[in-house]
Structure 1
Amino acid sequence: MNGNNPDYPLYSISEIAKRTYQLSLATIGLGFLIFTYYCLMGLYHTAIMVASFCCGIGLILFLKSKHFIRNTKLPIIAFVSLSLIVFAAKEGAGTGQYLFYFPLMIAIPVIVDNQKTYLKKIIFYFSITAVCCLICIVVGIHHQPWEPLPLNDQYKIFYTNVVAAIISTIAFAYINISLERKYLEELIEQKNRTITSRTQFLSTMGHELRTPLNGIIGAINILKNGNNLPEQQEYFEILKYCSDHMLHQVNDILDFNKIEAGKLEIHPIEVNLKQLLINSTIPFANMFEEKNLELKVEIDPELDLIVLADDVRLIQILNNLISNAGKFTSKGYVKLTVKTISKSNGILRAGFWVEDTGTGIAKEDQEIIFDSFGQVYDETTRKHTGSGLGLNICLEILKLMNSHLELKSEKGVGSIFSFDIDFNYIDQQLPEQQTLPKEKADLAGMKILLVEDNQINMIIAKKILMDFKGDCAKAYNGQEALDLLEENADFGIILMDLEMPVMDGYAAIKEIKQRWPDIPVLAFTATLMDLEMLEKLKAIGFADCILKPFQAQNLLAQIKKYALVASL
């Protein structure tokens, strides 16, 4: 930290000057008490010296206030150190003046600003104090006192100095500890402010990045499904891969930020574990086929049961591991194995293994890859492999699940990542939640109100809904949506963005739920959602949310899940 930076008041120059001034005044106050005590005992010569000492410190403070001197630290430390030598020369070592060097040394770290030269200054001031302390002791022992004192008076002064030195040492030590504690609290507060600011910034940037990505990914999917020349299909695949990869990186950064802010949480729901695991491998089919890799999946039949699991985070772990395995495997296979380790008393322990025949990881690099932003230099590709976030995120998620990630790997042979998770399981199957006829595969006859201020996202979403044969009306803000509902409220569902001009989604949902409470409304947003935010949205009236960028089939499934049957 920079001592001249006003953003760090604990170690700013003005704060250091204030501390020096306060400690100097405390020293003068203590000196006045000792002066009074000596006067009452009749030790007038010693009392005069103490008064002179206090006046000397006061003079230094006065000169500083009049800007005759710029810095009071060195003059005060030198003056106190030399004054104690003078006391020893006057009275001898029997009165214990050297004891005051201890509180002086305790005070030095308090009045030295924490700059780049902090250590040098501390050593310099300590050296002055230590040398003067030795001189004080030597002078007191070997020098003939200027004013020999009776033994009784020596005892009185000695005990007074002992008490004063102890009180000063304790007081300065307490001040030092208090300031250190205050400094640490300020550091923690500063860190929390930084994390909060960064969280807000990344949340905003995540929204701003995911919004155009929604348009890119949506347009690519529409073009891929159209009539294209064979050579164009290859370019669409490249565009899709790049946009999906960018979305993955954005989500990783936002998740990593949540981890640092301590806001990453696990929210279990009831899911069929076997079906969840099968679904997690489906997106990799095309990628592995293009690389001529075999994707093997071996799932224990006993896992075909309902468990309490955070499906989103579990899939995120598997996606990271399988994606990494596929990325660094050029031939052979990638294999996901999930087996039942134990099952009793309502607890299922499942073991997960992701194995590949890829490049492998050298032993000395196996710790690096688990660090935040840790990367491994691959000599075969002459580049750093991986962004360094995926595995760290997996580690943190597994910690929240009371698990950990293990690695077995050999360079040039392959790698196996493994972990175990305990799930609470339920014997009965979940009933199907379906509001549309099961055989229906599109949205024919469905009237949908799409509320979206971004024209590109509006075009993409409307095109996809029309491809599913939905009847789509559009509004560019909440007020337009309310006007349309006033004219005709015969909509089976409303998809509504949250951040819009004129009237945003938060204000519009309150009006809609008051006047048309039966129409389900889905939040249609690029904001990265967590359970806390989702619960808040549900509390104000949203049925659920659809995150942008969205996949067409996911959009269809969400609409079919919540739309009114009566509208068909």
Structure 2
Amino acid sequence: MVSIKSCLSLLILFCGIQAFCSNQPVINPENFLNNNKSLKPYLRVYTDPTGNASINDILRDEPVFSQLKGELSKENIYWGKLLVENNQEVIKLYLLHVGKNDFIDCYFVQNDSIVQHEQSGYMYPQHLKSVPKGSYYIPLLMNANSTQELYIRIEEKIHNDPEFDLRLSSGTNWVYEILDKHIVDFIFQGLFWIIMIYNLFLFATTRTKAYLYYAFYLGCVAINYLFLTDILREYVLNEVPWLTIYFIPTTILVVGAYWIFVNDFISAKKYFFLYYKWIRVVSYIDIGIFFVSVLVIHFTKEIYIVTDGLRAVALLNALLIFGLIYRIYDSKYEMVKYYMYGTGAMVIMAVIDTILWNPSTSQANLMKYGLIAEIVVFSIGLAQRKKIREKERRKALNKQIDQLRVNESLAQWQKEELEKIIDHRTKKIKKKNKKLKRAIKKAETAARVKSDFLSVMSHEIRTPMNAVIGTIHLLLDENPKRGQLEHLKTLKFSSENLLILINDILDYSKVESGNVQLEHIDFHLRELTKGLGNTYEQKAAENGVKFNILIDHNIPSMLKGDPARLTQILNNLISNALKFTPGGEIKLLIHLLARSNGRVKLEFAVEDTGIGISKDKLKLIFESFTQAHADTTRKYGGTGLGLAITKKLIKLFDSQIFVKSKVNRGSKFYFSLYMEEAAHANAAIEQDDVLMKEEVKGKRVLVVDDNEINLMMAKKFLDKWGLICEVVSSGQDALIKVFDTDYDLILMDLQMPEMDGYEVTATIRSLDNTDLKNIPIVAVSADTYENVKIKIAEVGMNDFLSKPFNPMELLTVVHTYTRGASQEIEPTNL
């Protein structure tokens, strides 16, 4: 149990406290005006550690207010109680400075009722404050002969240094004080911005980077002073004052901008290159610290961590500045002294201000005057630098003028010498040009002779070959004896091989000279491969080899491309495989790799089970006149041109050929081509030779050729098929025959003495008689189609048949132009 003595002690203590609180002294404001005398002794304070107490709680519960002792803790919220008395006969207005706190709420109470509520402090927006300028003042309007009870609540959320710094000012003195401060601040701001804009103007007119860097530096200084002098918070961010704390790191941004300007101002790159690099590094580090500090403030709101760090960085920069001054002070470069004088005063003031800087006050009074001195000195230095640059420019210009004079004399001498050299060279060039013209003429003559020679050789070789092959076909059609049949087959095989060799040589010459152009016509791929099958199945069977063709069923029937060159490529590859495959199998494989937008990508592959090719010979087989082994030509025959021609033809298709091979295991040659799908995929109709022979019977054909053997061979075939055939050996005789007889078709040799096939055709096409001028005329020549196609089209020939031809080719042409079909047919290389 609590003793009676203890209860009495508590009662006495409570009564003492109540007596102390009730005896709180009353302030007469007139005794405290304009003398900076503190009101703290008259203030009673209550600590609210929870921060939940409201003014109504205070008035209702009457907590204990005691005299302020010691420093206030940043963790608590405080309430202050003050009694103010106006014993004069007039109404008085006073301004009560509470202290630099984030939030200040002042409640005016009479007879335990709230009669007025005023707000002030760092963080309240302007529209909530009765005193918009001067963030920590509360207006105190006192009626005559009245006493006012004030309850003042202070709270910190950012600055963490709550204080009761109670001072009274009269309204008039307060206005003058605020005006004086703001006028000075605005003068400084105006000075910064005017000089900055002026330097931007100088940069725009002179393009001198020093003015731009100086303007950047002044801009950073101006923004920093907007923050330090409270102009930023009270005039710019007055409704969002909490954003002001993000401008705390602008101090270090000023330092970074300072280094950027100084690096150019003292021409460090030119005169102090050793320091130029580390000055750049320091400027980048300072600017980086600025951005890091902003992020730290944003995420932690711990401004004192940032300000302590900025102090350290600013002091370190000051040491670097003094170090730089020490290292370059004895330099003869004139701008160094301007840098030293301008920076010295500013750095000293900045160091003092940085040491004394309190983020709650945000003032830097000493540094203002240091900056003014620096701005004046730097501005004079920039003007002097301009004069120095002009002087250096004039000196360099004079030096250039002197050098130009020397160069002019030297150039005159060089010109004279050069003219002599040019005259000498010109004579040599003229001699070389004459030699070159003679060489070009010789080369053109040689090329023309080569072309003429190949044309003549083609005609001279193919003409007898036509007789040989034609005779063999005639003999084969006359039911020869069994022994004779074997000999005829041997002759047929040998003559066809000889023709292949001749074609290889002539084709290689055409490909080398670039005279081969690809056609773009419709063709039936399966009919093309069927022809290859008919050609090689029997040959393969005779060698004991199986020959198969496999085509992807997804490939369209009709395509657009050059069927003649594709056939030539496949012929070369299949005949090559047949030559080197003594037994086994040869396959032609055609796969569809891709199909889109009317185009197909096909892969062609020829596989065999032949002798194969060793790895070290794979690259040689595509070279001209080269085979894998030295004895290949002797053992297997051939010119070594087939694969070389194939490679060049595939290159014309914008593709390339590949080969895989193993010795005694076989080879695979493969390539891919892009082709278009034909607009009308009509299946080609295979011609029946028996039907064709029936349809051409009785048709009149005139054969014109100066070679008696060719005339005899053509006539024998045509007579055999039931046609009425007449032959003439000259162009003049052909014209006479045309006037005397109605012909269904003329087979015209191109190369004839006196009047060749071109002249005869042109004459016929120029006749007025419609029936005569429209007679189908097919050119028959030992020359190649590429060499003659333009000329035969110009004179009006309908088609072309190459010598030597096999009987089926001749029958197809005759049938095409004598069966009554339209004669408006484009020439094609049959």
Do they superpose with TM above 0.5? yes
Written as runs of structure 1 = structure 2, the 5 A alignment for 1:116-515 is: 190-377=442-629, 383=635, 386-430=638-682, 439-442=691-694, 443-489=696-742, 491-513=743-765, 514=767, 515=769
Q: Which residue of 1 aligns with 2:792?
A: 537
Q: What CA deviation, in whole Å up to 9, does each residue of 1:217-255 have, x standing for no partner?
A: 000010011121101111111111111111111111111
What is residue 71 of structure 1 aligned with on the other side? none
Larger Rg: 2
Q: Distance in 2 between matches of 1:400 and 1:381?
A: 28
Report the RMSD for the aligned CA atoms in angstroms.
3.2
Question: 1:375, CA displacement in angstroms?
Answer: 2.3
Using the TM superposition, give the Cα deviation of residue 334 of structure 1 relative to its aligned residue in structure 2, in angstroms: 0.9
Query: What residue ranges of structure 1 are gaps of 5+ in the alignment?
Result: 1-154
Q: State the distance in 2 between where 1:456 and 1:509 align.
A: 22
Find the aligned partners of 1:288 and 1:458 in 2 and give their Cα distance: 34
Distance 1:477 1:557 in 2: 25
The answer on whether the counterparts of 2:579 and 2:636 sit within 8 Å (CA) in structure 1 is no
**Cα displacement string for residues 275-321 of structure 1 (whole angstroms, at most 9, x for unaligned residues):** 21222232112211110100011011223422111111110000000
Which deviations, in whole Å up to 9, do the C-alpha atoms of 1:115-156 show, x marking residues without a partner? xxxxxxxxxxxxxxxxxxxxxxxxxxxxxxxxxxxxxxxx99
CA distance change for structure 1 residues 312 and 469 in 2, over 3 Å: closer, same or farther? Answer: same
Say if 2:587 and 2:608, in contact at 8 Å, map to a contact too. yes
| SS, match of residue 492 in structure 2 | helix
Q: 1:566, 1:328 → 2: CA distance?
A: 45
The verdict on how the C-alpha distance between 1:473 and 1:328 changes in structure 2, with shifts beyond 3 A counting, is same
- Per-residue deviation, 1:434: 11
Name the structure 2 match of 1:561: 816
The amino acid that maps onto 1:524 is V
| Structure 2: distance between partners of 1:517 and 1:402 | 42
Mark the CA change 1:380 to 1:312 in structure 2 (over 3 Å): closer, same or farther. closer
The 3 A distance-change label for structure 1 pair 444 and 419 is same
Distance (Å, rounded) in 2 between the aligned partners of 1:517 and 1:437? 29
Post-superposition offset of 1:169: 5.7
Secondary structure of the residue aligned to 1:420 is strand
Aligned partners of 1:207 and 1:345: how far apart in 2? 45
Q: Which secondary structure does the structure 2 equivalent of 1:565 belong to?
A: coil
CA distance in 1, matches of 2:513, 2:550: 37
Aligned-partner Cα distance in 2 for 1:181–1:341: 54
User: What CA distance in whole angstroms lies between the structure 1 residues aligned with 2:408 and 2:630?
Assistant: 77
Determine which of 763, 768, 782 is the counterpart of 1:526: 782
One-letter amino acid matched to 1:218:
G
Instruction: Select between 492-501 and 548-557 the one with higher mean Cα deviation.
Output: 492-501
1:511 offset after TM fit, Å?
2.7
Maintained 8 Å contact 2:605/2:669: yes
- Note the C-alpha offset of 1:344: 0.6
Note the C-alpha offset of 1:447. 1.4
Per mean C-alpha deviation after superposition, the further-off stretch among 286-295 and 268-277 is 268-277
User: Which AA in structure 2 matches 1:453?
Assistant: D
Q: CA 1:181–1:354 in structure 2 vs 1: closer, same or farther (change >3 Å)?
A: farther
Cα distance between partner residues in 1 of 2:776 and 2:661: 50
Structure-2 change in CA distance of 1:216 and 1:169 (3 Å): same
TM-score normalised per structure 2: 0.46
Choose which of 763, 769, 773 in structure 2 pairs with 1:517.
773
Range 201-210 or range 267-276, more displaced:
267-276
Secondary structure of the structure 1 residue equivalent to 2:676: strand
Q: Deviations over 1:22-60 (max 9, x none)?
A: xxxxxxxxxxxxxxxxxxxxxxxxxxxxxxxxxxxxxxx
Judged with a 3 Å threshold, the aligned counterparts in structure 2 of structure 1 residues 184 and 294 are, in CA distance, closer, same or farther, namely farther
CA distance, structure 1, for counterparts of residue 637 and residue 777 of structure 2: 43
The one-letter code sitting in structure 1 at the alignment partner of 2:776 is P
Query: Structure 1 residues 542, 562: closer, same or farther in 2, change over 3 A?
Result: same
Distance 2:599 2:761 in 1: 41
Q: Partners of 2:782 and 2:500 in 1: how far apart?
A: 14
Q: Distance between the aligned counterparts of 1:487 and 1:163, measured in 2? A: 82
Q: Once the 2 structures are TM-superposed, how far is the Cα of residue 479 of structure 1 from its aligned partner?
A: 1.8
Aligned-residue offset at 1:545? 1.3
| Contact 1:448 1:493 (C-alpha < 8 Å) held by counterparts | yes
In structure 2, relative to structure 1, the CA distance for the partners of 1:291 and 1:273 (3 Å cut) is same
Aligned partner letter, 1:369: I
How many pairs does the alignment contain? 411
Cα contact 1:408–1:415 (8 A) shared by 2: yes
Work out the CA distance in 2 between the residues paired with 1:166 and 1:195.
Answer: 40
Offset, 1:498 = 1.5
Equivalence for 1:549: 804
Aligned equivalent of 1:33: none
Structure 1 residue 257 displacement after superposition: 1.3
d(CA) in 1 for partners of 2:435 and 2:663?
A: 47
Secondary structure at 1:285 match in 2:
helix
**Match in the other structure for 1:28:** none
1:428-480 deviations in whole A, cap 9, x for unaligned? 22487999999444421211111122111111111111121111112121222
Question: 1:182 Cα shift?
Answer: 7.4
Range moving further from structure 2, 170-179 or 190-199: 170-179
Question: Residue 54 of structure 1 corresponds to which residue in structure 2?
Answer: none
Q: 1:502 to 1:195 in 2, by over 3 A?
A: closer
Identity level (%):
34
8 A contact 1:199–1:258 mirrored in 2: no
The alpha-carbon deviation at position 503 of structure 1 amounts to 2.9
Q: 1:499 and 1:178 mapped to 2: Cα distance? A: 43
Distance in structure 2 (CA, Å) of the matches to 1:183 and 1:193: 15
Structure 2 segments unaligned to the other structure (5+ residues): 1-406, 823-830
State the 1:345 CA deviation: 0.6
What's the offset of the Cα at 1:407?
A: 1.0
Q: Distance in 2 between matches of 1:405 and 1:183?
A: 42
Q: Which has the higher contact order (CA 8 A, sep 6+)?
A: 1
Distance in 1 between residues matched to 2:477 and 2:487, nearest whole Å: 13
